[in-house]
Amino acid sequence: MTILQKIAQARLLSKALASATKLLSERGESNSASMATDLLTSYKSLTDDQKATFLSNLATQFNPEPAAVTTAAQNYAAKPSAKSLIELTKVAEPPRQELLRRINRSPGGTVGLLEMRRDLFKLLSKNAELAAVDYDLRHLLQSWFNPGFLKMHQVDWRSPALILEKIIQHEAVHEIDGWDDLQRRLQPDRRCFAFFHPQIPDTPLIFVEVALVQDIPAAVGPLVDKKSAVSASNSPRVAVFYSISNCEPGLRGVSMGNFLIKRVAEHLKAEFESLRTFVTLSPIPGFMDWVIAGAKVGETNPKLAIPQRLEKALDTLNLKKQSWPERLSGGWSPETATPADKEALESLCSIYLMFVTPEKNGNQVAKFHLSNGAKLNRINWAADLSKKGLRQSAGLMVNYLYDLATVEENHEKFTQGEIISSRLVSRLV
């Protein structure tokens, strides 16, 4: 980079920082759209290091005034009233949130903020102060991407190529192997539903892939085999949600899934009166990592026998003698595993899903479905024989059952730390 280029680049950073301050001024209130556009244009032209400087500035220069917050908090504590509460709320909110709101008013502002948050993710581990910026962004995005704003559309082979390409690109559970694979997933015995936000109409935020079958599946292979025969039945009994993918990394941690599965299920129920069961076939990422790390369960676990079960299962696997990667490279598979290995892994998996899921670092897939009101229904042996499936969960997968009559009740119980499970699962503990 030449000296002139460096000077021009430095001016861009100065302009972006100054634009942020101006956008919060009274003038910024009346001209927020155009000023926000200028700010985003400058930000996008910054180098990675300059973006880090800009975001650090947001973290340090747009915080509430400590003295004002202290005074308002003392006033509210001394005399709790609507007036004192409103005042406390006003002074405690970081000015940064209003800055982000004004940025969002510009054309392309929502997309710009999502890109900014993606940049933020790269820096959080290096700068703890940036957590405040991420918190404010996540707080606002949670409101702007409320599930009530999302529009559901069925995706089929006639959908715009741009949408189909994004589905191939963002499939996060079972990779789509080209256009012929996608076409198989859009045949009459399959369905794909995508959820869109009005501000980003060309990008599906979440898409759900469904297989229409006669029985609850115990393995994913037949569902994602692009050479499988298309069912001729027009009266499926089971709808299987076998893949749910998020297409926007900038929305990580922003919950949009609440009851989206129920919306898909109700749509399918209206289309097929024969449907009786709505179920997933879900991966268990993180399960073997938990086992390898020693299979720890929180001290508040109510089951006194759990530690003994864990110890017995771990002794059976004896991963200290031969690590899990070594076993896999040596040819271990569920199909040739010993009965003792099967019993140990199924027991560990049931404990992991039932007692580790509610913890802070619990399984995110389980959290998603259980918080949506599903029931932990069945653990399936030898369900995913792919390299990824063997590495992350020893080939195990799980069925989460959606009973449309009880999803709200199950959701409430999960928020209180209770997991609804079937006897098929609980007896494995």
Structure tokens at 151: 């529009």
Range of the domain at 266: 148-280
For the chain, helix, strand, coil in percent to 5 are 55, 10, 35
Q: What is the CATH number of the domain that holds 422?
A: 3.40.630.150
Nearest to 272 by CA among 222, 217, 231, 229: 231
Contact by Cβ (8 Å): 75, 88:
yes
Q: Which of 89, 118, 144 is the last residue of a domain?
A: 144
Shared-domain flag, residues 204 and 234: yes
**What per-residue confidence (pLDDT) applies to 302?**
55
Shared-domain flag, residues 98 and 165: no
3-state secondary structure of 245: strand
Shared-domain flag, residues 270 and 299: no
Shared-domain flag, residues 199 and 173: yes
Q: Which of 221, 256, 280 is the last residue of a domain?
A: 280
Shared-domain flag, residues 27 and 92: yes
Global pTM reads: 0.86
Q: What is the CATH number of the domain that holds 45?
A: 1.20.140.90
Structure tokens at 219: 């393995």
Shared-domain flag, residues 20 and 62: yes
Q: What are phi and psi of 242, to 5 degrees?
A: -105, -5
**What per-residue confidence (pLDDT) applies to 260?**
82
Shared-domain flag, residues 140 and 153: no
Q: Which of 254, 280, 306 is the last residue of a domain?
A: 280
Shared-domain flag, residues 256 and 331: no
Shared-domain flag, residues 197 and 85: no
DSSP state of 105: T
Task: Count structural domains, the chain.
Answer: 3
Shared-domain flag, residues 293 and 275: no
Strands (DSSP E) found in 161-289? 190-196, 206-213, 238-246, 277-280
> Measured between alpha carbons, how far is 354 from 398 in angstroms, rounded to an integer?
12
**CB neighbour list of residue 259: distance below 8 Å, 6 or more residues apart:** 147, 372, 373, 407, 411
DSSP state of 281: -
Q: Which helix (H) or strand (E) holds 375?
A: strand 375-380
Along the 429 residues of the chain, how does pLDDT read in single tens digits?
677 767 777 788 899 899 999 998 866 566 678 889 999 999 999 999 999 999 999 999 999 999 999 999 999 999 999 999 999 999 999 999 999 999 998 889 999 999 999 999 999 999 999 999 999 999 999 999 988 889 999 999 999 999 999 999 998 889 899 999 999 999 999 999 999 999 888 889 999 999 999 999 999 999 999 999 999 899 999 999 999 888 888 998 887 766 688 899 999 999 999 999 999 999 999 999 999 999 988 765 556 568 888 999 999 999 988 999 999 999 999 999 999 999 999 999 999 999 999 888 899 999 989 998 999 999 999 999 999 999 999 999 999 999 989 988 999 999 898 999 999 999 998
Shared-domain flag, residues 188 and 261: yes
Query: Strand 206-213 relative to strand 190-196: parallel, antiparallel, unpaired?
Result: antiparallel
Q: Which residues are catalytic?
A: 282, 369
Shared-domain flag, residues 185 and 95: no
Using CA atoms, how far residue 373 sits from 177, 252, 368, in Å, is: 32, 21, 9
Q: Which helix (H) or strand (E) holds 152?
A: strand 151-154
Inter-axis angle of helices 407-415 and 364-371, to 10 degrees? 130
